[in-house]
C-alpha cells in the first residue's frame, strides 16, 4: 500500500549512474608559494617608472633579511587578536604601510619615491603577497 507523500517531499526518480559526477573530497587550494625567491609580481594596473623612460611592468623581490627589517623600522606586519572563543583564536593581519613600502623598495631595488607613485591596487597586491612571509602559519594559533 503506497502512502501519500507529505507536503514538501518529492518523489525520487531513478538515478542514471552514467550521469553521476563524483564530488571532490577536498577543495582545490590555489596557493602561491611565497618561499620561492625572488618573488616576481606582475603589476596589473600601471607600470612603475624607475628612471626616465624605463617602465617596470613587474617587480622582483629578493628574500628579506633581519637587517632589511631593522632598516625599514621593524616588522611590517603584525597580528591583531579579534576574538578568543574557547580554544579558537580569530586574528587579523595588519600591514604597516610605511614600513612595508620601505621594505619593498629595499627588496626590489627601486627607490621609495618611485614606488610611492605606483597604483594602490598594485601596491596592495605586492604587500599582501609579501605579508605571508612575516606572519605565523594559520595552524599554530
The full set of domain ranges for the chain reads 32-135
Task: Read off the DSSP letter of residue 17.
Answer: G
pTM above 0.85, yes or no: no
Place of cell 579579534: 82
pLDDT digits (tens, 9 = 90+) for 37-94: 999 999 999 999 988 889 999 999 999 999 999 999 999 999 999 999 988 888 899 9
Q: Which pLDDT score is estimated for 4? A: 64
Task: Read off the DSSP letter of residue 135.
Answer: S
Task: Report how far Cα 101 is from the mean position of its chain's Cα atoms.
Answer: 17
Q: Which pLDDT score is estimated for 51? A: 83
Which alpha helices (H) appear in 41-136, and where do they start and end? 66-72, 97-108, 112-116, 120-134
Question: What is the C-alpha to C-alpha distance for residues 66 and 137, in angstroms, rounded to an integer?
Answer: 19
Amino acid at each position: 500500500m503506497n502512502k501519500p507523500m507529505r507536503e514538501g517531499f518529492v518523489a525520487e526518480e531513478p538515478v542514471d549512474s552514467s550521469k553521476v559526477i563524483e564530488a571532490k573530497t577536498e577543495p582545490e587550494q590555489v596557493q602561491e608559494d611565497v618561499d620561492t625567491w625572488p618573488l616576481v609580481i606582475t603589476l596589473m594596473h600601471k607600470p612603475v617608472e624607475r628612471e626616465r623612460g624605463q617602465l617596470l611592468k613587474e617587480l622582483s623581490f629578493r628574500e628579506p633579511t633581519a637587517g632589511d627589517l631593522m632598516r625599514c623600522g621593524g616588522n611590517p606586519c603584525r597580528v591583531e587578536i579579534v576574538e578568543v572563543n574557547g580554544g579558537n583564536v580569530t586574528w587579523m593581519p595588519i600591514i604597516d604601510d610605511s614600513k612595508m613600502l620601505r621594505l619593498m623598495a629595499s627588496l626590489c631595488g627601486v627607490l621609495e619615491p618611485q614606488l610611492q607613485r605606483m597604483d594602490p591596487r598594485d601596491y596592495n597586491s605586492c604587500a599582501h603577497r609579501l605579508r605571508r612571509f612575516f606572519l605565523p602559519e594559520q595552524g599554530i594559533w
